[in-house]
Chain A
């Protein structure tokens, strides 16, 4: 379906008396373009009375919010009562629009669907032009709750008898789907409970033992589902056990349910022994590789064995490696030809050394053992298991009874196995919520913020617990290493912004000062170190630091004025505000620290005061 151009769309809505309207469009750019298009349409005749009313509100508003003066859509809003609104606009812009809308001075607002959640200004009509919305990767169909969020803006209480949702045509419109979605029941609330360093430190300090922290974690809404699953499995297990028990008792052979379960475990252990027996040379080699290919080692690949790679990580049968030119390569474990003995740290200098050593012949090859199919090492345990199985059968049974007993054991093998598997399932379900906490505890233990064995947080953990920020570990390590000691406010701002920013967002290409660059280099090393530890303990590693954010924040903290910053970074105002406000908040957390960190705290306080000036707040 062809689209209706925005000016014509607004006119049509006006003809049906459906204005004011909020028009949802798929991207920030389209919001801005559509508003411009409407405002400069030649057939548009402005209502001078409303125009001057808008001007009046604006004149008053701009006194308190001077950053609005240079807003690129100022004229459009004032002239035509049309506005664009999305997360790229500065917060004050939203308030201005809100003010005008509440007085009925805005005819049309073009907005992205992400804005729907935070907007508190209803209109008579909402227009939906896309049945899809932008997800994390590409477009996906709109969800019922998202549509509800949007239609929730239609109809002003006390100002409208009826509210409207109008579907406008586009290539990505789907009226039947939306019609269905409008009738859909509301989505259920789903838990997104997760472990964080901050919560773990605070809870452990408050309650004093892992058991108690675990108990708290298991009170989460997420665990309620898990608990229900567990009860279900337990009930199933009970039923199976009951049946099994009855069958055993009926036999009258003096065999217990425990005997059957023991039998099942022994039999499956014997089966596993057989399975573990490597069948081919390739299997044996793979097993050897698994034991010897380790992070930080050099391996070679290819027939000639002359392509060298540095191992970064091994997961299952895959190895993630780095080539000499710095590019990453994922290879299968079985493709590795040789393994070299030395292990290197994963940082810039030692990586260079690693490849240099290889060419200089200073890194010996790990000798591969002669591989052969040895059967004998599993024979003894297998025999032992068979002996144990025999012992399960009661003594002094007649020939007929013995046969009956054996039949009983084998016939119930499957049920006993099911009981066993269910118990394992229950165990793993039970630890699902807790394991991420435990893994984080090990990372914190590694860096000295808590003592895993004694289940206590250390002195350093005490102050880290007070830092309620997104990446406490990185900031904690930076404080411990004294990185802040050599910095001034503007570099401190840059450093914290690098950690506070979204990893993938681009805030322009301003230059970093040398001093800040040096500090970020050190932070980068910390990030690598933390990520390595996180990998080792099964915690998803954190993202990298954002250099463009650092540069933007450094510029802001050195006293740049707002419009220069926006112009030079070419970032969207709303994104900059969010970045700097988050940076300021993180700094205020540091500002509360005491003792050894009091110098850094003072610096953080000063920096936050510089950063949190208008229009950041």
Chain B
């Protein structure tokens, strides 16, 4: 498109008019100028029905009565299964997978047996080391990571999966045995990690069948297939323990409108709450949401 050109005759040199807000624009001013922020607190009238649904959305917020700890069924199931088989536990974070590992370790240590606890992260390894040291006595726990090696002969070793895999390599090359009876693979879903996932596979494939495996994983869509694979490569039986109900604490979803009004994201039938659509961008195709940032 052709642009209109102003004659240079009147103003030679730079244009006089400057964008004032630019001159001293901090980050916030800049964003205000762009209109990033909502204006004021204009709350439109709220209908009775909306009030009602908001009340339901927020009902029961607060702190539960303290309750004596009783293990969940999936936890005791897993503990029973691990006595005879490999076990794959799939449950969301915070639902008590570590409890299973801890109880089994307690049992093993009492029997004078040895265990290895692998994690994907150094920070996680360090915190497990501290946690188990308190629980089982620091003389019974050792740690092995890329830069830390303490009490390496202890009956319980906490370390990164890489180090465990390396021990398997060393054992295979020297014809010796890895000195453990039980291996817990925490965050087993790291197997799908682009760069490091192969280490998890190697660790599972190369662990001799005499070592029992307890795999703790986030919820995955193909637990059966995963367990089936482990059975095939190790020649063991793998029990899948899935935590019934997906979360330890109920989750509710809400939408906070630009005017800070709160709406449930889904209605009573579990369908998307269309009331929210009034806040959609109207400047592009019929108020639909923009998809991907260019």
Interface size on A, residues (CB 8 A): 95
A249 at the binding interface (Cβ < 8 Å): no
B279 at the binding interface (Cβ < 8 Å): yes
B244 at the binding interface (Cβ < 8 Å): no
Task: Chain B residues near A16: list those with CB within 8 A.
Answer: 58, 262
The contact string, 1 if C-beta is below 8 Å from chain A, for chain B 123-151, is: 11001000000000000000000111000
Q: How far is the CB of B66 from chain A (nearest CB, A)?
A: 7
Asked if residues A202 and B249 are in contact (CB atoms below 8 Å), the reply is no
Within 8 A of B (CB), among A135-167: 138-141, 145, 148-149, 151-167
B292 at the binding interface (Cβ < 8 Å): yes
B258 at the binding interface (Cβ < 8 Å): yes
Among B123, B192, B195, B249, the residue within 8 A (CB) of A157 is B249
CA distance A166 to B94 in the complex (A): 20
Among A17, A33, A167, the residue within 8 A (CB) of B265 is A167
Asked if residues A4 and B249 are in contact (CB atoms below 8 Å), the reply is no
Asked if residues B192 and A192 are in contact (CB atoms below 8 Å), the reply is yes
The contact string, 1 if C-beta is below 8 Å from chain B, for chain A 172-206, is: 11111111101101111111111010010011011
Q: How far is the CB of A497 from chain B (nearest CB, A)?
A: 14
Task: Chain B residues near A185: list those with CB within 8 A.
Answer: 221
Asked if residues B250 and A584 are in contact (CB atoms below 8 Å), the reply is no
Interface residue stretch chosen among B1-9, B10-18, B34-42, B107-115: B34-42
Interface size on B, residues (CB 8 A): 85
Asked if residues A193 and B221 are in contact (CB atoms below 8 Å), the reply is no
CA distance A500 to B165 in the complex (A): 20
Contacts known (A179-B265, A179-B266); A4 close to B198, Cβ less than 8 A = no
Q: How far is the CB of B126 from chain A (nearest CB, A)?
A: 9
Task: Chain A residues near B221: list those with CB within 8 A.
Answer: 185-189
Asked if residues B198 and A584 are in contact (CB atoms below 8 Å), the reply is no
Q: How far is the CB of B140 from chain A (nearest CB, A)?
A: 23
A487 at the binding interface (Cβ < 8 Å): no
Asked if residues B272 and A154 are in contact (CB atoms below 8 Å), the reply is no
Interface residue stretch chosen among B77-85, B177-185, B225-233: B225-233
Interface residue stretch chosen among A5-13, A299-307, A446-454, A554-562: A5-13
A37 at the binding interface (Cβ < 8 Å): yes
Q: How far is the CB of B244 from chain A (nearest CB, A)?
A: 15
Asked if residues A3 and B38 are in contact (CB atoms below 8 Å), the reply is yes
Q: How far is the CB of B143 from chain A (nearest CB, A)?
A: 12
Asked if residues B272 and A1 are in contact (CB atoms below 8 Å), the reply is no
Among B93, B123, B291, the residue within 8 A (CB) of A91 is B123
Task: Chain A residues near B166: list those with CB within 8 A.
Answer: 468
B71 at the binding interface (Cβ < 8 Å): no
Task: Chain B residues near A124: list those with CB within 8 A.
Answer: 61
Asked if residues B233 and A219 are in contact (CB atoms below 8 Å), the reply is yes
**3 closest residue pairs by CB, A with B:** A155-B249, A585-B146, A206-B172
- Write the residues of chain B forming the contact surface with A, with a CB cutoff of 8 angstroms: 27-28, 35-39, 58, 60-64, 66-67, 92-96, 121-124, 127, 146-148, 162, 166, 169, 172-173, 189, 191-195, 197-198, 201-202, 205-206, 217-222, 225-226, 229, 232-233, 247-258, 260, 262, 265-266, 270, 272-273, 276-277, 279-281, 289-293
27 contacts between A and B (CB under 8 A): A4-B38, A5-B28, A8-B260, A16-B58, A122-B94, A124-B61, A131-B289, A148-B218, A149-B218, A151-B251, A156-B249, A162-B251, A164-B253, A167-B253, A167-B265, A175-B265, A175-B272, A177-B289, A179-B266, A186-B219, A188-B221, A189-B221, A199-B202, A202-B173, A203-B172, A206-B172, A219-B205
